[in-house]
Amino acid sequence: MAQPITHTHLDILPEVADALSQGRPVVALESTIISHGMPWPQNAEMANTVEEAVRATGAIPATIAVIAGRLKVGLTTDEIQLLARQGDAVMKCSRRDLPYVVSQGKHGATTVSATMIIAHMAGIRVFATGGIGGVHRGASESMDISADLTELGRTPVAVVCAGVKSILDIGLTLEYLETQGVPVLGFQTAALPAFYSRDSGFGVDFAIDSPADVARFLKAQWSMGMTGGAVIANPVPEADSLPREMIDAHISQALTEADAQGIKGKNITPFLLKRVTELTDGVSLVTNIALVLNNAKVAGEIAVAYSAQG
């Protein structure tokens, strides 16, 4: 039996620690979507439902966050409620922010990059989220490129997502991922999904049809010493998909409003997601929840297959 994982700043929920020490499947989940991605009380309800979706596959969920300066792998119900109720008051944490929130004893909601770092510390290989960050529109002038992309290039965690957030420049994001050596796998699709929509108009690197095949891909990648991550692009269920043209129109309006209000940096994504929800009269929030649940299910299936392959 493997020895329990220890780290100076890391607290692992006993259920998660037991699963990891026994080689059982575990799926990491981010917390930015709780504090910054959805309003109260849908955010708390969503977090609990996503954990249940992971459990239904036979894997153990490990929602990741920083609570009072401690890196938490697996949250209690009270900790999820804390993040959900405090919302935007909780600091949104990327790689650069982790030393600050830890040293100052603050709460932090982890983005894709920060969640990958903490998951890797704990020994978790599979992570489910909504959509990854990327190259923002207008990045040729703003240089606004998400730390998610460089993290994927150096941290060996597979990220199951509904593709690249449609508020981003998807083509440039794919180019950046290629430069970082990050494979983009389409789960049962050759088309790259665009968060709210099943098809972005771009293709994936490799289409893979089953969780077992994804697990074999990851085993091969990491056994060769290729230490970066992988994007597992999983389309939103067809019944919940929104027309790309409609979403693009709302995003364009939201971007114009953000520019007029001087909203930039890490505040831009929460603003755009919230504004798109308003412009779609809440329909995009329903789609957002559906895709997160679907990603949790597929991530659980991949984690189970990865664990079974030894």
pLDDT tens for 238-260 read 999 999 889 889 888 988 898 89
**Interval 176-228: pLDDT, tens:** 999 999 999 999 999 999 988 999 999 999 999 999 999 999 999 999 999 89
Q: Which residue is catalytic, options 72, 165, 266, 297?
A: 165
Structural domains in the chain, CATH included, are: 10-236+285-305 (3.40.1790.10)
Please confirm, yes or no, whether 30 is among the known catalytic residues. Answer: yes
Reduced to 3 states (helix: H, G, I; strand: E, B; else coil), residue 196 is coil
CA 225-297-34 angle, 5° bins: 95
What's the confidence (pLDDT) of residue 252?
Answer: 84
Q: Which residue is catalytic, options 30, 79, 151, 301?
A: 30
Q: Cβ(47)–Cβ(87) under 8 Å?
A: no
| Residue bearing the bigger pLDDT, 266 or 198 | 198
Supply the DSSP string of 18-46, one letter for each residue: HHHHTT--EEEE-SHIIIIIS-TTHHHHH
Please confirm, yes or no, whether 165 is among the known catalytic residues. Answer: yes
Mean of the per-residue pLDDT values for the chain? 92
How far is Cα 191 from Cα 198, in angstroms, rounded to an integer?
8
Predicted TM-score (pTM) of this structure = 0.92
**240 residue type, one letter:** D
Question: Which residue is associated with the tokens 């922010």?
Answer: 97
Predicted confidence (pLDDT) at residue 138 exceeds the cutoff of 80: no
